[in-house]
Structure 1
């Protein structure tokens, strides 16, 4: 019979996967736990009861999801934005609703895909089905959300797309085919342009009327009649400028034959080394435009020596799906028609995407790989990063040089692929969810390999993300926690400090389901907000809540009465629910909310009232080596345990045989009744916890709405063969 005194000094490995229960040989087994629920492993080693949440208000729609987006101008001016089905509402950092509601272009189906980046007082919003929008705060109660007023968007020779059908006399390859359009489409200068539809290509050789043209079919069309088609290239006619200078002047552009269309307004003309934006349509041969960059001369430019170009961000080709700010440029990417193209604005001018070759000019480039990998996220961590469905890329301008139109390097660092969840930067690493939605990876520079690695941060707790992660947020202060909402409403958290080698997962659960999280800076650190779906009085509701240090209930209120009172209102959002009550630091009997209020048996000055949650830590079976080998599989008896606490009031211990023992934290004596039990720091001992074959697990539970911080567990054990 061997006797041992064993100590678990910390829980920094967090909750381990059941797949790890046999890995008693690794160090993290000694620092891990079987269950850490509604607790946080902290960097210093202990396990602390998580913060509760205070109720802010109800989301606009109870039957539809909403997501939270932080708007941070500075640490004193930070707001939480509630984006829902075609609306956005603004919340103040104290949890109150500002009364500001804006019309949003983002529908319910878009909420999980749209991205954002903020610089100063401007936030850019991205979704591949909506043009880039800009959210701005003018005052606390005056906000605007509208399409970003770009000076110049990226453009190319895109031709014209027709949503009406066309019919060919024969879709097969051959000359002299007759093409008939269902709507007016052709002008004289279209002779020489090409018609595309699917894999079919035809070159126009003559225009008979606005609806009829003669073509040579170069590539066969799938059928004689097609529903949509496009006219490629620019008008095939000489173009003469009214003047070549100065920049900003309005000048005419005259074609030798009909070629301009009313829809050309807003498009760009590259001619004689200059650029003009069409502002007015006068006739099929004359338009006017503003000189954006001066041509070398006003000499007539023949066909194919000038081009008519349109923005590549449009309803047909789609819009950028993601973007970030890096090196004084706005970088955007991921449009449906250009899934691997990155556009970078002019240096210092986020709204100017006029391409050029100077170092500070806007530029575009393609992240090439051996397969089509749409760019899902743009981010930065030491360098510009493009995360795609099939791999992770870094984009640099060379050694210690910025990105310029003539100096771009793109390197594929890994091939894990990313999901649609917006990545989070923590320190010098970029945390992203892998493509399948389960693994959390941390992309960072590795000096030993001179490359960027992306290790799996959930490898020892693969179960923690079992239903897939749908939302993430990061709290840097006062504790370093990453929050990751699961699809089933559980909220895994990761305590992370790479310098201290702390990577510890835990699970946070509530009476309901978490759906979205975000954080904003407040006095003393960062505050995490959540959208929580709950069932109240038999009805589904969605509440906006915020985690608050010192709060011991969920979806609760924290109220004060200077003179004291027994009836407390403001609980209409919990009508019919059984709630925990802490009055002046004393736990009161639970009550059911009726009429939006509860009545205490005595007056109180300060209360916390809200939904109950229990915190628990379940230890793993320890491993010791004896004279006959491992202790695993032997009969084990925990004769005595010593628990070291910090600022804790109350808990109970469940032993190997499932029996509960309550630890007393209140001392008897004078003037202790009607007083809250003091927070305790020190050690508590329990004896006679029982035998179990092959197991020696303990469960330490805090099921009261009171503080709990477990520092270490010391076990005196007897092990028999």
Structure 2
């Protein structure tokens, strides 16, 4: 019966998967636990009770999804934005509501696929169903949310999309076919343009009327009657400008035959080496415009030497779904009709997407691969990164050179793919959820291979993310923790420090379900906010809450009264709930909230009042070498256990309460002192094949476990 003293010095591997319970041969087994709940593994090795949350306020609608988006101008001017069904509310970092509510174009269903990026006091918001919006702060109480006023958007020779019936008398390949449209869509300058519908293509050879043209069918149409079709190309006639320069000057564009349409206002004309934006329609042969890029001459330009182009961001083609800021450019991508296109603005001009070939001109390029890979997210680490459904791409301009219109290198670094959850950058790594929404990967550049790798950070704790992740946020200080909202409302956390080889998962639960998270800076680091759905007095409620250091309750309040008080209000949000109370550092008997008030048996000066949560750590059965081999499967007895604590008050070990102070008349109704040191317990008993400890802190008091020392007897 060998007797061994085994020490677990740290919990840096966090909660391990049930699939790992047989891997006693690896180091992370020795540094992990079977269960870590409502606690955070720390980089230093121990595990600490997680922060509680303070109540901020209810969301506008209790039953609808909400997205939290941080707006950070600097450390002293940081705000939390509550995006909901067609609204945005702005909160100070202290948790106070600014009173600002803006009208928003986004429904609650659109929020999960809405991306954002912020530069200085301007935030750009992206959604494939909406133009790019801009959120700006003029003062604490004056904000605007409106479509971004682009100087020039990316444009292309798109032609005209027609949503009305069209009949072709003979849909097979051949000439002399007659096309009849129910709407008056044709003009004399359309002769030479092509009609596209599905796979069918026909070239217009003669103009009869606004409803009838003659065509040559180049590719057979699938139907004789179609309702959605396009007139491709530009008007086929001579175009003459009246003025060639300077930029900003007005000019008139005159066609030889009818070709302009009222809907051409807002489109662009490339002519004589310059660019004109059409500002008004005069007639089918004359429009007026503003010179955006100077022309070389005012000579007449023949058909196909000029083009009529329109923005590629529109209701029909959709809008960019993601964006970032890179090398002083606004970079956007991922529209429905151009899923692999990336557009970059002019250098230093976020609102100018006028394409060109100069190094500082705006540009457009395609992330090509051997399959369709819609771009889901844009981000940056060492390079600009495009995360797609099918893989991860790096975009560079060459060795230590910026990206320019003539110098773009696109490389496919891995083929894991991502989902809609916004990636988070931690150090030099980009953390993203793989497309199946189960694995968390960390994309980073590797010098030894001169390539990017994306290892699975959840491989040893795969059960933590098995229900899927729907939101993420990172807190850098005071602890390096990544928060991940699971689809079932549990909050998973990952304590991460790659330099110290710390990858520690844990689960955070509450009397409700977490819906969203975000973090903003405060005086001591970053503060994490959460949206939580709860049931209060039998009715559903959805609250904004923030994790605050030193708070030991959930959805709580912290209050003080210099004269002392027994009755404490401000608890309407917890009406009918049983709450924990810490009065002047002493845990009081739980109270029920009635009419928003609780009554204590004695006056108190400072209180914390809120919902209870329980911290639980369940250790693994250690591997102990014996003379006959492994101790696994043998009868084991923990004769003595020593827990090393730091600034802790109270806990239970296998159901036995740990006494941290002696009772007496001099200590009643006084806060117990924080305990730092070793605490020993004996005679914990035999168990076949196990030597585990269940360590619980169920009181709203500090708890910080540094290490566990067990004296174990193994009976072969």
- For the aligned pair, the TM-score class normalised by the smaller chain equals over 0.9
Q: Secondary structure of the residue that 1:339 maps to in structure 2?
A: coil
Which residue is 1:494 aligned to? 494
The answer for the alignment partner of 2:653 in structure 1 is 653
Distance 1:156 1:65 in 2: 37
Of 712, 717, 720, 2:712 maps to 717
Q: Per-residue deviation at 1:670?
A: 5.9
Match of 1:34 in 2: 34
Shift in Å, 1:181: 1.4
> Structure 1 CA distance, aligned partners of 2:63 and 2:46?
39
Q: Distance in 2 between matches of 1:569 and 1:71?
A: 32
1:703 to 698, 704, 711: 698
Q: CA deviation at 1:31?
A: 0.2
Paired positions, count: 716
Secondary structure, aligned partner of 2:413: strand
Q: Does 1:185 align with 2:154?
A: no
For residues 130-175 of structure 1, what are the alpha-carbon distances to aligned partners after superposition, in whole Å with 9 as ceiling and x for unaligned? Answer: 0000000111111100000001000000001112121111222222
Rounded to whole Å, the distance in 1 between the matches of 2:172 and 2:559 is 79
In structure 2, the partner of 1:163 is: 163
CA–CA separation in structure 1 for the residues paired with 2:244 and 2:267: 18
Q: Report the equivalent of 1:401.
A: 401
> CA offset at residue 668 of structure 1?
3.7
In structure 2, what is the equivalent of residue 68 of structure 1?
Answer: 68
Distance in 1 separating the partners of 2:669 and 2:492: 38
Q: Quick one: distance in 2 between partners of 1:540 and 1:178?
A: 63
Deviation at residue 669 of structure 1 after TM alignment = 5.0
**Distance in 1 (alpha carbons) for counterparts of 2:22 and 2:589:** 43
**Counterparts of 2:665 and 2:111 in 1: how far apart (Å)?**
59
Aligned partners of 1:574, 1:83: CA distance in 2, in Å?
24
Q: Determine whether 1:666 maps to 2:657.
A: no
**Structure 2 residue 699 is the aligned partner of structure 1 residue 694:** no
Q: Which runs of 5 or more residues in structure 2 are unaligned?
A: none
Residue 130 of structure 2 corresponds to residue 135 of structure 1: no
Q: Counterpart in 1 of 2:92?
A: 92
Deviation at 1:297, TM superposition (A): 0.5
Q: Could you report, residue by residue, the CA deviation over 1:337-378 in whole angstroms, capped at 9, with x for unpaired residues?
A: 110010000000000000001100001110000000000000
CA distance in 2, matches of 1:150, 1:454: 36
Q: CA-to-partner distance for each residue in 1:269-328, whole Å, 9 max, x for gaps?
A: 001111111111100000011111111100000000000000000011110000000110
Task: Say which SS state the counterpart of residue 111 (structure 1) adopts.
Answer: helix
Q: Map 1:97-496; keep pairs closer than 5 Å.
A: 97-496=97-496
Q: Is the 8 A contact 2:65 2:109 kept in 1?
A: no
- Over 3 Å off, 4+ runs: none
Deviates more, 1:166-175 or 1:179-188: 166-175
After the TM superposition, which of the residue ranges 177-186 and 637-646 deviates more from structure 2?
177-186
Q: Which runs of 5+ in 1 are unaligned?
A: 655-659
CA offsets, 1:436-468, max 9 Å, x none?
001000000111111100000000000000110
Q: CA separation in 1, counterparts of 2:706 and 2:326?
A: 42
Q: Which deviates the most, 661-670 or 186-195?
A: 661-670
**Alignment deviations for residues 401-450 of structure 1 (CA, whole Å, 9 cap, x no partner):** 00000111000000000011000000000000000001000000111111
Give 1:653 deviation, angstroms. Answer: 0.5
How far 1:33 sits from its partner (Å)?
Answer: 0.2
Give, in whole Å, the separation in 1 of the partners of 2:81 and 2:171. 53
Aligned position for 2:6 = 6
- Secondary structure at the counterpart of residue 279 of structure 1: strand
**TM-score, normalised relative to structure 2:** 0.99
* Match runs of 1:544-693 below 5 Å: 544-654=544-654, 660-668=655-663, 671-693=666-688
Q: Whole-Å Cα distance in 1 between the matches of residues 207 and 101 of structure 2?
A: 53
TM-fit CA distance, 1:710: 0.3
Distance 1:117 1:205 in 2: 49
Query: In structure 2, the residue corresponding to 1:369 is in which secondary structure?
Result: coil
SS of match in other structure, 2:340: strand
For the residue of structure 2 that corresponds to 1:499, the secondary structure is coil
Question: What's the counterpart of residue 515 of structure 2?
Answer: 515
Say which SS state the counterpart of residue 189 (structure 1) adopts.
helix
SS at match of 2:357: coil
- TM-score, normalising length from structure 1? 0.99
Find the aligned partners of 1:99 and 1:180 in 2 and give their Cα distance.
58
Equivalent position SS for 2:319:
coil
